[in-house]
Amino acid sequence: MSSGFPDLVREAGVVGCGGAGFPAHIKASSRADTVIANGAECEPLLHKDLELLVREAPAVVRGIRLLMESTGAKRGIIGVKKKNAERLAPLSAAAQGAGVEVLFLGDFYPTGDEYILVYEATRRLIPPGGIPLNVGVVVSNVETLRNMSRAAEGIPVTSKYVTVAGAVPRAVTLEVPVGTPFADLIRAAGGAAADDVAAFSGGVMMGSLTTDFAQPVTKTCAGLILLPMTHTLVTRKSLTPGAMHRIGKSACDQCSYCTELCPRYLLGYEVQPHKVMRSLSFTATGEDIWNRYADLCCSCGLCTLYACPEDLYPKEACDRSKADSRARGLTWHGKTEVSVHPIYDGRHVPLGRLMKKLGIDRYDVPAGFAEMSVMPRRVTLPLAQYAGQNVPPEAGQNVPLPASKSGTSARPLVRTGERVSRGQKIAEYSGGRTGAHIHASIDGVVSLTEKGIVIEQPQERSRQHA
């Protein structure tokens, strides 16, 4: 039986909980001088990382220590928002005792972007198109570190922290079995507070929009933001990509606000969404611009949802451009040197101002952890719950990741009709491209379906109580 830390992490099926879901054993096998725990949580209204840090500070600190030992890193830093310093006093104490630094970050968006976080924590700039490892850093979400800590004790990933907020009577953070239907989360938050709602899974800035509440919570889902169907964010996100680009082509006046407020541009990278928008009008001559000035965009959405005075879609134009680039196998070919824009520090977008602009400031309430047991009768576990499978952050709702980035599906180890117990490995990732094992998140009887492995527990055992 394997026993090295990366093997234990792999065995437990740990993937990044920050959105893209990169298999954690790969990071645990790398060499670095610094490990950064990402607890910045800058998506408006989501608070699951904060609540996890309050409840499970020792496990997160243990996780970062284990990752430091496994990567050879001498320095460990936990990045959190300064506004939460008081609630995070126990975390600070635990970190101090373990020789780990706590970095208090400003309340601006998007502090959780890896390029920004690495710069804020180390003053190092990741080379264009690179990853934190290129500057000796491994970045891991705080929930991923909690899961790594549990993996070292042989505990697999079977649950997920999620926040449910927005148009609900009671915004809450919960720990639920992986595979729980969205409908159960909404019920736990008191039901929808409007007749007709849609939900942003993973956040309003970088998440995907859905009205399918039978959809399951995956290992990468940070939560749900419910909004009335008539809310501008819902209507804007519901447009087809074709319509977004058509409007952009006719209405963009090249004011360049989108570029002037782009956090990657301000950090010194060659991201210029206004030039990508310009190429919508000149596609025959603009191919180079279309690709080059979008490639380093992190899809944070600020340009579309905050900067553009015309309510156009520069982020979506960048998404499309990046997808084109990947489909053609193009790699970064712009300038390789990076120097921070002199106005970087003065042009951050405060979260409060962003929420006002988005029209969601009325939903900005604490989403404290609710000590309730949400035990669904039925869970659905997709066979791939990592990079690319839960769609968005990197790609946005309209642009699927190419196969080369989306990893392989796990192979079921169970058959329809088989009884399984919580924690049992039910699907195996056998190597090759990125992937992760999957474990039963509840006791019950299995069905293999096209959506993944469904586990259903006998009626009399299911319960949901506050």
Whole-angstrom distance, CA of residue 244 vs CA of residue 397: 13
CB of 278 to ligand SF4, least distance (A): 8
Contact status: 81 vs ligand SF4 (CB under 6 A): no
Contact status: 85 vs ligand SF4 (CB under 6 A): no
Contact status: 199 vs ligand SF4 (CB under 6 A): no
> Residue 116 has which token pair?
């920004």
Contact status: 19 vs ligand SF4 (CB under 6 A): no
- The answer to whether 259 and 274 have CB atoms below 8 angstroms apart is yes
Contact status: 271 vs ligand SF4 (CB under 6 A): yes
CB neighbours of residue 148 within 10 Å? 29
* CB neighbour list of residue 300: distance below 8 Å, 6 or more residues apart: 109, 110, 113, 205, 206, 263, 264, 315
* One character per residue 311-350, x = contact with ligand SF4 (rule: CB under 6 A): -x-xx--x--------------------------------
Q: Choose, by CB under 6 A, the member of 214, 255, 403, 466 that binds ligand SF4.
A: 255
Identity of the residue, 240 or 250, whose beta carbon is nearer to ligand SF4 in the bound complex:
250
Closest CA to 234 of 256, 208, 252: 208
Q: Choose, by CB under 6 A, the member of 268, 301, 412, 444 that binds ligand SF4.
A: 301
Q: Choose, by CB under 6 A, the member of 47, 231, 264, 322 that binds ligand SF4.
A: 264
Contact status: 299 vs ligand SF4 (CB under 6 A): yes
Identity of the residue, 230 or 281, whose beta carbon is nearer to ligand SF4 in the bound complex:
281
Identity of the residue, 143 or 394, whose beta carbon is nearer to ligand SF4 in the bound complex:
394
CB of 287 to ligand SF4, least distance (A): 18
* One character per residue 47-66, x = contact with ligand SF4 (rule: CB under 6 A): --------------------
- Total of residues contacting ligand SF4 (CB under 6 A): 28
Q: Choose, by CB under 6 A, the member of 6, 273, 435, 452 that binds ligand SF4.
A: 273
Rounded to 10 degrees, the C-alpha dihedral 323/400/351/41 comes to -120
Contact status: 454 vs ligand SF4 (CB under 6 A): no
Contact status: 393 vs ligand SF4 (CB under 6 A): no
Q: Choose, by CB under 6 A, the member of 302, 374, 395, 454 that binds ligand SF4.
A: 302
> Alpha helix (H) ranges present in 100-231?
114-122, 142-151, 182-188
Identity of the residue, 247 or 413, whose beta carbon is nearer to ligand SF4 in the bound complex:
247
Whole-angstrom distance, CA of residue 105 vs CA of residue 112: 10
Whole-angstrom distance, CA of residue 354 vs CA of residue 335: 31
* CB neighbour list of residue 448: distance below 8 Å, 6 or more residues apart: 412, 414, 415, 416, 454
Per the listing, tokens 């919960």 go with 174
Contact status: 253 vs ligand SF4 (CB under 6 A): yes
> Residue 108 has which token pair?
């601006």
**Helix, strand, or coil here: 36?**
strand
- The answer to whether 254 and 278 have CB atoms below 8 angstroms apart is yes
Per the listing, tokens 């006791």 go with 443
Whole-angstrom distance, CA of residue 427 vs CA of residue 446: 12
Q: Choose, by CB under 6 A, the member of 47, 48, 65, 274 that binds ligand SF4.
A: 274
Residues, the chain: 466
Whole-angstrom distance, CA of residue 1 vs CA of residue 42: 40
Contact status: 252 vs ligand SF4 (CB under 6 A): yes
Contact stretch for ligand SF4 (CB under 6 A) within 43-51, 178-186, 262-270, 358-366: 262-270
Whole-angstrom distance, CA of residue 198 vs CA of residue 55: 30
CB of 311 to ligand SF4, least distance (A): 8
Identity of the residue, 117 or 442, whose beta carbon is nearer to ligand SF4 in the bound complex:
117
Contact stretch for ligand SF4 (CB under 6 A) within 26-34, 64-72, 304-312, 370-378: 304-312
Angle at 17 between CA 15 and CA 19, to 5 degrees: 105
Contact stretch for ligand SF4 (CB under 6 A) within 23-31, 239-247, 298-306, 415-423: 298-306
| E strands, 194-342, in order | 197-201, 208-210, 223-228
Would you tell me which residues interact with ligand SF4 (CB under 6 A)?
252-258, 262-264, 271, 273-274, 277, 297-303, 307-308, 310, 312, 314-315, 318
